[in-house]
Structure 1
Amino acid sequence: MRLLEFKIQINATPEKVWEVLFTQDAYQKWASAMNEGTYFEGTWEEGSVMKFLDPKNNGMYNKVIKNIPNRELSMKHLGWIFDGELSPQDWEDSTISYFLEPYENKTLLIGRVNSLDEFVDFFNTKYPKNFEKIKELSEEQ
């Protein structure tokens, strides 16, 4: 396991950044940097399962372990989804967390991924692009 960290300063309030991160329309725009057509199913409530799917009904699913609106959201990676069917994986303590730190009407967005070695290149390649898109969408008026 490797702990990866991604940061970006955004000229928007935490409320605006949170909205971009976790509402369907905005999520689909920034997550397209990872996989075109990606969307989510679920509620973001603590204890709930979130599914992240592509147009072919494949993807992954996570359990929300912490949700403090406009401040922090953390999830544990649980497994893959193939043709809509859940395929649990033993991914140890593989997690992803988003932290929003406000300062002077701006936000420092921090993403921390506790990643299995086999996914490190994926996160290092995709997440900086995701964060740039999140910044762009959050700063739009």
Structure 2
Amino acid sequence: MGPRISVRAVFYNQDHILLCKHQDERGFWYITPGGGVEHGETLEDTFHRELMEEIGLKATMGDVLCIRDLISDRSPTPYLPEHFHQIEIFVEGKTPNFINTASKLDPAQIGYEWVPLERLDNILFFPAELVEMFKNREFSTIYQGHKL
């Protein structure tokens, strides 16, 4: 099986970032909204579908901010499936317009919130290794590779 491709939207509002909020035995944890590309979908189709499903949001897809590989065999964790490989494409989200309630939350998702950038160091945020890039809005290197 090949890598799964995921599109993740990054929205900033002043000094806040929009994150999906999840909860499990670790407590609360956060990720940028988005998800996997389905067969026959473009990246932009996925961007729009995932935002409607997870947040009830319409927006404009901007440029690619960065890309990273997530390979569970290189950094084993009980929260990722064995042999899981995902290529995550983080894109800028523009002109968010909340029009609906979320229609298809992920199993552990309990909502979303605008999180102050200064809090990213103090919450369980994924990808943790890219916190500084997200906090500083500094995406000078597009390909991030796989980081432990």
TM-score clears 0.5:
no
TM-score (norm 2): 0.25
TM-score (norm 1): 0.25
Which structure has more helix as a fraction of its residues? 1
